[in-house]
Structure 1
Amino acid sequence: MDDELVQRTAERRGESPDQVLDRNLAELLQELRVAFTGVQLLFAFLLTLPFQARFDSLDDVGLTVYTVTLLSTALATLTLVAPVSFHRLVFRRQQKAALVAVADRLLLTGLALLLLAITSATLLVLDVALGRPSAVVGAVVVAVFGVVLWYVLPIRQRRLGPVGDATPRP
């Protein structure tokens, strides 16, 4: 996190810079817990699929979608767990600002990978259940909905600024 931003936030909220970093880290950890629960459930589901009877009936497209889904879920898992490792390795070394900045980027990256995993899992399941045309439509709906909810709305709000502040942000 940028030192100047931490200082401005601390002054505005009546906190010390350390309190701002502590609060930001706690908020990030809560967000990681929510995201990680979803990725764990999806990963567990995907790891059992090859052992199901119908898995052998997947065509090349189905196997490719499964592979993309499994790999994006594995990468999301690694990315969302990375802040824990980072924290452990910089623990008690006065690097909380770096931890917050890195964890923030990792969480955003992990969410993007999770969105890919959710979209491709939807494609995979709907392909088996309803057929490819319906699966593609369903996956597109999930992808668009995810992008709008996870990125477009927050970025739009960030540009608008705090509620009640009519001054657009660059």
Structure 2
Amino acid sequence: MDIRTRLISTAEQLFDRHGFTATGMDRLTKGAGISSRTLYKHTGSKHGLMAAVLNERGRRFLRQMDVDSVDELFVSLETWLVQEGSRGCLFLRAWGETGGDIPEIAATIMEHKRRLRERVNEIVAAEIGYRDDELAEEIVILFEGATHTAIYRGTAGVASARRAARYLMTVERKA
């Protein structure tokens, strides 16, 4: 594993477990087994590292969500939470810690959420045969809510959201 990959992987684990603010540079360099000079060489700043971590996590997350139905979307979310842990959306946690005030982090978060909404739109359209932005938005809200509910309910919240999504997919709508 190259240095940048090791750094991003270590930082993701530390940020996810302890938060962005509470994870200092000393902890990051020690965890990755690198010097602070090497850290800055590969990411430029802590904010650059945060954005790199979020980009990598988002890439992995969306690859996990490469499914063909809304039902499978929630199954994939459950699998993700079992594998990665149920500590809530790292993107929204980053937004909460930064207040959306750091442009490179805010842009990374907004782009990830845009991609997630578009992915859900694609899945919904493929399943019902036409694009329905309102229905897709409802599914996204259930999906995001299930992600956060998993913090204290585990995957039971995902199962409830999955049932609600299944119902929404059967409601007759105007094309």
Give the TM-score band, short-chain normalised.
under 0.3
TM-score when scaled to structure 1? 0.28
TM-score when scaled to structure 2? 0.27
Structure (1 or 2) with the larger CA radius of gyration: 1
